[in-house]
Amino acid sequence: MDLITLGETMALFTPSSEGYLRYASQFSRSFAGAETNVAIGVSRFGFKTGWISKVGKDEFGQALLRFLRGEQIDVSQVKKDEEYPTGLMFKEYLRDNKLRVFYYRKESAASRLVPKDIDETYIKRAKYLFLSGITPALSDSCYETVKRTVEVARNEGTAIIFDPNLRRKLWTEDKARRILTELSGLADIVLPGVAEGEFLFGTSDVREIGESFLELGADMAVVKLGAKGAHYFTGSEHALVPGFKVERVIDPIGAGDAFAAGLITGFIENLTLKDAVNRANGFGAMVTLVKGDVEGLPERIELEQFISKASLEDVQR
């Protein structure tokens, strides 16, 4: 298995019209969750991925599993909960490209994950484990589950990639800071944004953020700057890899997950760090061009064409 992820994915409802959600009467239904977004992005490059979670024993859970199987994601480690439902989320597209997201995930099936839900032999099979800071915020049992998964991965030499993915509404700032700092220090690779670095370390200076994650214990930190690209830091290297110009952002939600997916495919293929981050920037840019978290995740030929075109335009300028 090239990549395993663990976390919650929800049924996503998007209105067919723009404006306040209160006026929407027709919706399209898809699915979204940081960990499955990443898994799908990696799977589309032909790599083997798996997802660990819980869904409700309901129609949304059934549809989600069917959807992920269609994306070639292994869902053998997903349990169906008899009592708690699959979570829901809604997007709202307002004027001037303003977008809001509403979550209905309290007491969801995924929030009931416990350490005994983890098959340790499954974790041992993976080259990479991707986690986000969303999962430990869902409940104390989810936090304990993440901790146990990290412990198994570290013991077996599975590389841990952690995106802090701060969600302030899910927990108190003190608890978020403590747990995100702890998990960042246990990860091999950390993928923060500047806002998350500032939350954890009290600085918006990119170099200070990157170096602070290394001091916690990570081997590598990649600090995302959105359209401007990303800085990568290791014990011996630091560089900025510029982003790609996008004429019009349709939907920025999921760009960070796409970035992680692109980066992981680069790691699996043993690209140079610079080339892996460049690919990650391409993934992040492309996913913003359409509505939806995963609809814009590229296949290999599309990504290569996008990067080649952007490079040619840079030369011609």
Distance CA 213, CA 201 (A): 9
Please check the confidence at residue 83 and state whether its pLDDT lies above 70.
Answer: yes
Give the mean model confidence (pLDDT) for residues 265-273: 97
Query: So what's the pLDDT on residue 311?
Result: 66
User: How distant, in Å, are the alpha carbons of 145, 210, 267 from that of 248?
Assistant: 40, 29, 29
Domains of the chain, start order: 3-7+35-53+112-316 (3.40.1190.20)
| Tally of helices (H runs) and strands (E runs) in the chain | 11, 14
The answer to whether 239 and 279 have CB atoms below 8 angstroms apart is no
Predicted TM-score (pTM) of this structure: 0.93
Query: So what's the pLDDT on residue 238?
Result: 95
Q: Which residues contact 124 (CB under 8 A, 6 or more apart)?
A: 152, 156, 158
Annotated catalytic residue, options 2, 74, 188, 257: 257
Record the tokens describing residue 317, joined without a space. Answer: 């300028």
Q: Which residues pair with 78 in a beta bridge?
A: 53
**Kind of pairing between the strands at 220-224 and 238-242:** unpaired
Q: Is 176 helix (H, G, I), strand (E, B) or coil?
A: helix
pLDDT digits (tens, 9 = 90+) for 90-147: 999 887 668 899 999 999 999 999 999 999 999 999 999 999 999 999 999 999 999 9
Distance CA 18, CA 95 (A): 8
Please check the confidence at residue 317 and state whether its pLDDT lies above 60.
Answer: no
Q: What is the CA radius of gyration of the chain?
A: 19
Q: Is 275 a catalytic residue?
A: no
pLDDT digits (tens, 9 = 90+) for 276-287: 999 999 999 999
pLDDT higher at 72 or 293: 72
Q: Is 230 helix (H, G, I), strand (E, B) or coil?
A: strand
pLDDT digits (tens, 9 = 90+) for 47-58: 999 999 999 999
Query: So what's the pLDDT on residue 315?
Result: 43
Q: Is 164 helix (H, G, I), strand (E, B) or coil?
A: coil
